[in-house]
């Protein structure tokens, strides 16, 4: 019998890890989107949410390290699968096409490695822009002084490079999740044909909703003019 460490390095173990980490990342981005949507709430909503997270202290660091680990495992396995496919088929087909029917080959599934790598690079830029970005201090209605992430977000997305760059990457996120959500269920041993068909549709819908949810914000800020926009109230 292999040890657990060996087992999770096997083809089957790797796939199960990809599924588990994929699910955790989906949960993370759902929370992330919920946090982002606070920009449309009360004037203080986004900054108080950010302040709340920072107050968690060691718990926040635990979450950050956990998230980084999950992200690295997911990306590492994904990239290694992609590198291995060339080794497994050194001479490629002259003509290759899907047979359709039950096949899940699509632009979404065939571009998982590409969209995944773009997301990987994006996350580095994204953390640099917002988590490590220069933030002024601001006062909440209750008098607490907090970092003004809301203004940083609004200022950043006045720049077309950021607004459209983010929009493009969020479309790729949708493409990644279009195959990814269903694939994670299958990796985590979903067998039923009927359930599989239903989950595939739910996965695609969830991918579209998440992508639209994320890309709506930069586009709205860019075209809506930030603080002057109807849905965003600033202090």
Q: Residues interacting with other proteins, by CB under 8 A?
A: 1-2, 4, 7, 10-16, 81, 84-85, 87-105, 109-110, 112, 179, 182-183, 186-193, 196
Radius of gyration of the chain (CA): 20
Sequential DSSP letters for 129-154: IIISS---EEE-TTS-EEE-HHHHHH
Closest distance of CB 79 from other proteins, Å:
12
- Which residue number, 64 or 110, has a Cβ lying nearer to other proteins? 110
- Which residue number, 45 or 117, has a Cβ lying nearer to other proteins? 117
Q: Residue 145: what are its φ and ψ, rounded to 5°?
A: -90, 125
- Which residue number, 58 or 90, has a Cβ lying nearer to other proteins? 90
Q: What are the C-alpha distances in Å from 216 to residues 31, 146, 168, 209, 221?
A: 16, 26, 11, 10, 8
Closest distance of CB 171 from other proteins, Å:
21
Closest distance of CB 86 from other proteins, Å:
9
- Tokens 């822009």 locate to 129
- Which residue number, 111 or 129, has a Cβ lying nearer to other proteins? 111
d(CA 169, CA 163): 10
């Amino acid at each position: 019998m292999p040890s657990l460490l060996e087992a999770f390095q096997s083809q089957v173990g790797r796939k199960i890890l990809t599924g588990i980490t994929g699910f955790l990342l989906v949960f993370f981005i759902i929370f992330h989107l919920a946090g982002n949507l606070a920009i449309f709430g009360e004037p203080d909503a986004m900054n108080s949410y950010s302040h709340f997270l920072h107050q968690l202290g060691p718990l926040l660091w635990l979450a950050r390290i956990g998230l980084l680990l999950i992200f690295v495992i997911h990306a590492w396995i994904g990239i290694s699968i992609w590198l291995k496919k060339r080794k497994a088929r050194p001479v490629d087909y002259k003509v290759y096409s899907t047979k359709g029917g039950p096949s899940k080959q699509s632009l979404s599934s065939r571009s998982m490695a590409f969209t995944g790598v773009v997301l990987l690079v994006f996350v580095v830029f994204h953390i640099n822009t917002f988590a490590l970005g220069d933030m002024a201090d601001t006062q909440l209605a209750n008098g607490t002084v907090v970092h003004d992430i809301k203004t940083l977000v609004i200022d950043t997305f006045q720049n077309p490079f950021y607004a459209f760059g983010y929009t493009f990457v969020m479309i790729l996120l949708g493409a990644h999740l279009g195959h990814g959500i269903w694939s994670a269920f299958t990796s985590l041993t979903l067998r039923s044909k009927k359930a599989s068909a239903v989950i595939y549709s739910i996965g695609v819908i969830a991918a579209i909703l998440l992508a639209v949810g994320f890309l709506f914000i930069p586009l709205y800020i860019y075209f809506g003019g930030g603080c002057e926009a109807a849905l965003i109230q600033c202090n």
